[in-house]
Amino acid sequence: MMKFYYVYMLRCRDGTFYTGITNNVDVRVDQHNAGIKPDSYTYSRRPVTLAFVQEFMDPVQAIAFEKRLKKWSKAKKEALIKGDFDLIQILAECRNGTHSKYKPD
């Protein structure tokens, strides 16, 4: 039997996002909303809703994607949820003066 891993993003009541990994999205979202762990990020931000999910067969890839997502800005996460991959690319570009695009020739 093939096992799947899911990287998921929850939208919290306060508008923030929580990113996690699981092998059962429905059960995991229910656990977040049940408030099983009082010290968890989502506990005081309930209810949460599932905003995004990506399926993986390789747990190493799933873990790498989760770690990458956790570092993304809120704007990039919103673009991912909307499926706006062009905007993700724009938001991913370095905008500071040290970027090669901004250096004089």
Give tens-digit pLDDT for 28-78: 999 999 999 999 999 999 999 999 999 999 999 999 999 999 999 999 999
Residue 94's pLDDT is what? Answer: 67
Decide if 21 contacts 8 (C-beta within 8 A).
Answer: yes
DSSP 8-state assignment for residue 96: S
Over 90: is that where the pLDDT of 101 sits? no
Is this model's pTM higher than 0.75 or not?
yes
Summarised one tens digit per residue, pLDDT across range 9-25 is 999 999 999 999 999 99
Decide if 46 contacts 35 (C-beta within 8 A).
Answer: yes
